[in-house]
Every structure is written in structure tokens, then in C-alpha cells.
């Protein structure tokens, strides 16, 4: 099985320092959904792993988060793309859970659900914590310069062997024939 793990905010859709708190605020980055369709066409299972501490902060509830993800799935399907699963952490950093990136809990849950080793699996994100979680499970960290990616690129803690691309479309082009 071919698998790819994507962060959501800043990779698939535009990010906001005030959080994406409603379906109206969820706006795809140009070309991102088409890039997911290309992954699907080449046989990849596409999984999203995303921190959603806005739930834990009380900025939005689970019904709203589900509505945001429903919008994402519908928008993807309109261009022939499919997101196979969404794994999320609803906790705040203060809760010190095992699933909040940079910890590896979400990625370990993905490995268990798909019954696979994540060694070398492309994990695409825009923040240092996305890349650190990928490294923790042996996945291939890939940084996109959308979202927080520009700032992340110059972080001295950037994991070694991180591949860097302008956006999801460029990253996907490197993965598909």
C-alpha cells in the first residue's frame, strides 16, 4: 500500500493565526485539491493528520470541526480527489497528550489503523511540529512553503533530510511518475 500523510492547515487550505473556526473560513490553497487527486490516481491512500486545539480551547465544537472536514471532503470530490481519513488531536498543548504533534501519537494511530510501518512514508507539513512527528516514526519529512512553511524553512531545528517544495502540488509532483 502506498500512503501519504498531509497536515491540513497551511498545506491543503489557507491557515489563520486565529484558527479555522467555521466551514466558511476553510479555503483550499490553489492546486492543493488537484494534487490530492493526482496522488489518488497514482494509487496513494491520502490521510490527514492535524492538530485542532481550537476544540480544546472552546473556539469551536466537534460538530463544527466535522462540518469543516465535510466541506474539505466535498471540495476534494468536486475535482476527483479523495481524502481517505482524517486523524486529529483536539487537545491544547497544556494537556500534554500523546497525540498532539510534534509527538507521534497521530502517526502511530495511522500506522495501527492501516497496519503498516511508516518508514519512508511521505509526511507533508508546513510546521516544525509536523516534520518532527514524521521523523519520530521514520516517515519522510516534507516541508511546503505555504502556511507557516517559510518561517519553518529557516528554523535551525529543521530535521535533516527534510525535502522542501513551494506547495503541495510541487511536493506531489516529486512523488508521482
| Residues with catalytic roles | 7, 9
Measure the CA–CA gap between 155 and 47, rounded to whole angstroms: 26
For β-strands 2-6 and 140-144, DSSP reports them as unpaired
DSSP state of 13: B
What is the DSSP code (8-state) at residue 22? Answer: S
87 DSSP β-pair partners? 49
Angle, helix 105-114 to helix 128-136, in steps of 10 degrees: 50
Sheet holding 2-6, edge to edge: 85-89, 44-51, 2-6, 122-125, 140-144, 163-165
SS3 123: strand
Amino acid at each position: 500500500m502506498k500512503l501519504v500523510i498531509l497536515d491540513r492547515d497551511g498545506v491543503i487550505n489557507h491557515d489563520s493565526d486565529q484558527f479555522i473556526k467555521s466551514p466558511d473560513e476553510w479555503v483550499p490553497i490553489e492546486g492543493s485539491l488537484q494534487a490530492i487527486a493526482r496522488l489518488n490516481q497514482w494509487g496513494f491512500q491520502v490521510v490527514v493528520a492535524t492538530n485542532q486545539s481550537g476544540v480544546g480551547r472552546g473556539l469551536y465544537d466537534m460538530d463544527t470541526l466535522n462540518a469543516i472536514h465535510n466541506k474539505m471532503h466535498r471540495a476534494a470530490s468536486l475535482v476527483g480527489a479523495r481524502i481517505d481519513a482524517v486523524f486529529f488531536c483536539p487537545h491544547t498543548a497544556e494537556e500534554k497528550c500523546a497525540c498532539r504533534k510534534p509527538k507521534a501519537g497521530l502517526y502511530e494511530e495511522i500506522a495501527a489503523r492501516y497496519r503498516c510501518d511508516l518508514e519512508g512514508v511521505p509526511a507533508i507539513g508546513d510546521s516544525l511540529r509536523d516534520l518532527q512527528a514524521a521523523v519520530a516514526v521514520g516517515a519522510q519529512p516534507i516541508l511546503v512553503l505555504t502556511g507557516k512553511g517559510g518561517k519553518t524553512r529557516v528554523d535551525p531545528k529543521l530535521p535533516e533530510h527534510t525535502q522542501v517544495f513551494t506547495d503541495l502540488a510541487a511536493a506531489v509532483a516529486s512523488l508521482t511518475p
